Amino acid sequence: QLLLSLVHDITPGRNLAQGMWNYQKQLEDMVDHRTAELQTRNQWVLLALLLVSVFALALVWNRYRRKQIEEVLSYRQGLFSAMFESSGLLSGIVDQTGRLCEVNQRALQLIDLPATAVIGKDFVHTPWWQEEDKSRLREALSRAAQGQADSFEATHRSADGKTVWVQFHAVPVCIDAQSYISVIGVDISEMKRLAALEAHNNRLLAAVFDHAEVGLALVSPQRKLLNVNERFATLVGYSRHEMLAPGFDIEQISHASDKPLSLIHISEP
C-alpha cells in the first residue's frame, strides 16, 4: 500500500478568497452606510413632509376659523347695526374723554345735521344739549366712565323747533378691549303729554269732587274712607281730617238700621 500525497500551493486562492471576503465586507459596509444615509435622508424627508402637512393643515384650519370668526363678526356687526340704527332709539358711543365716536341716524334727524358735523366733538357741546342739561350729562358720563350706569331726563330742541323729552341711559361698554360709554335715549314726549293730561284730568275731577253740592265719598272694600268732600263732612258732622284718619270705619257714620245694606253695597265690586 502506498500513500499518495498531493500538495498544492493554495496561497493565491486563499488570498483571493480573503480579498473577495474583504471586498464583500466593504460592499456590505457601503450598502449599510448607504442604507443608513438613505434611511436618515428618508426620515428627514418624512419629517419635512410631516411638517409641510401640519403647516398645510394649520393653514386650512386657520382659514376655516377665520371664516367662522368673520361670519360671527359679520352677524354681530349686522345685529349691532340693526339695533343701533333700526331700534328707533337715539343712540351714540362716547369714548372715555367724552368725545362722540358713533351716532345713529335717528339722533341725527333730531338736529338735522350729518354725522361729520358731530363725530369727534365733545359730546356735551353738541347741538342736542341745552345749557340746563349739560351738568347732568357730565355727571352721567363721569359715572359711566367709572363703571356705573346712570339715567336722567333731558329736553332736546328738534330742528323744527319742537321740544322733545328724552330719557337717557349712560352705560359703560367694552369694545375691542377698549372702554366706551353707550348713550341711549328714549323719546318719552308722548308719555309726558299723557301724564300731563292725566294730571290735568285728576285736578279737574278733584275740583268737581271737592266743590260738588252733594256729599261724595270714596270707600275701599275694607270699609276705609279714602276721600270725602266738604259737603259729605258737613252732612255727617265729622271733619275730613277725622274721617280720613287711620282706624276710622264707615260703620261709625252709618245708622244701625242702614248698616247691613250699606255694607252689602260696599262689599260688592
Summarised one tens digit per residue, pLDDT across range 204-232 is 888 888 888 888 888 887 778 888 888 88
List pLDDT tens digits, range 76-94: 666 566 566 667 788 899 9
Whole-number pLDDT of residue 118? 93
Biggest CA pair distance of the chain: 179
pLDDT for the residue numbered 157: 84
- Does the structure show a pLDDT above 60 at 152? yes
**Distances, alpha carbon 66 to alpha carbons 51, 61, 72, in Å:** 22, 8, 10
Separation of alpha carbons 145 and 170, rounded Å: 9
Pick the residue with more confidence: 214 or 52? 214
- pLDDT (0 to 100) of residue 226: 85
Least confident of 13-27, 123-137, 169-183: 13-27
CA triplet 209, 214, 219: central angle to 5 degrees? 60
Average pLDDT, integer, range 51-73 = 77
Set of cell numbers at residue 64: 376655516
pTM of the model: 0.54
* Choice among 139-153, 181-195, 207-221 with the minimum mean pLDDT: 207-221
In this prediction, residue 95 carries a pLDDT of: 92
User: Does 260 score more than 60 pLDDT?
Assistant: no
Contact 101, 180 (CB under 8 A): yes
Judged against a pLDDT cut of 80, whether residue 180 lies above it is answered with yes
Beta-carbon contacts of 185 under 8 Å, excluding residues fewer than 6 positions away, are 89, 90, 91, 107, 166, 167, 168, 169
